[in-house]
Amino acid sequence: SRGCVDWCAAVFIDIKQAFDKVWYPHLLRKLTPAGTTLLKFIENYLTNRCIRMQHDVYLLTPRPTTSGVPQGGIFFPLLFTFFLSDLPIQPDVQMWGHADDIAVTAYGTDVPHRLDLLTQWAASNNMRINPAKCSTLVANRPPP
């Protein structure tokens, strides 16, 4: 176990509508190293989807979707994990996650900067962090 250099922080992050905001071109780019067979399968599955809304007796015309991974299957949290694969994690930062729940721990004095990098990543990937559902645990070592 690592000791705290100056302080340690654990940040529990909620990404607002995480599965719904996954933009297909970003996901497919991140999946490219996985190989063409898998990439083609996922691309065909995601790009040939439509959404149709109904309210009372009104039924809207189907429209193609351009973002979002379907929820409810075991395969789709894995797709979201691939989407998270380029998070700006550095040697003294660790990340744990399950589906769209993320916990980040960082050690040292530069934790706020690391959180800024995470916020920048979220913005560049069309994700919004929901501060109302996030929490932080900070611990520091008392002076000698």
- Give whole-number Cα distances, 136 to 62, 64, 88, in Å: 42, 38, 19
- CA dihedral (69, 67, 55, 128) positive or negative: positive
4 pLDDT tier (thresholds 50, 70, 90): very low
Give the chain's domain count.
1
8 pLDDT tier (thresholds 50, 70, 90): confident
From CA 80, how far away is CA 39, in angstroms rounded?
14
Residue 47 falls inside a structural domain:
yes
Residue 67 falls inside a structural domain:
yes
140 pLDDT tier (thresholds 50, 70, 90): confident
Residue 51 falls inside a structural domain:
yes
SS3 132: helix
What pLDDT, on a 0 to 100 scale, did the predictor assign at position 135?
92
From CA 123, how far away is CA 117, in angstroms rounded?
10
From CA 50, how far away is CA 97, in angstroms rounded?
29
Query: pLDDT tens digits for 10-26?
Result: 889 888 888 888 888 88
Contact 128, 16 (CB under 8 A): yes
Residue 55 falls inside a structural domain:
yes
- Taking every pair of Cα atoms in the chain, the longest distance, rounded to a whole number of angstroms, is 71
Contact 38, 30 (CB under 8 A): no
The dihedrals phi and psi of 74, each to the nearest 5 degrees, come to -75, -20
CATH number of the domain encompassing residue 23: 3.30.70
Query: pLDDT tens digits for 79-126?
Result: 888 888 888 777 777 887 776 778 888 877 677 777 888 889 889 988
Residue 2 falls inside a structural domain:
no
Residue 1 falls inside a structural domain:
no
What pLDDT, on a 0 to 100 scale, did the predictor assign at position 1?
45
**Which pTM does this prediction carry?**
0.69
Residue 44 falls inside a structural domain:
yes
Query: pLDDT tens digits for 49-80?
Result: 788 888 888 888 888 887 777 666 677 777 88
pLDDT at 7 over 70: yes
Q: Which residues pair with 9 in a beta bridge?
A: 106, 138
Domain of residue 131: give its range: 7-140
The rounded Cα 140 to chain-centroid distance in angstroms is 28
Q: Which two tokens stand for residue 132?
A: 């109302």
Residue 113 falls inside a structural domain:
yes
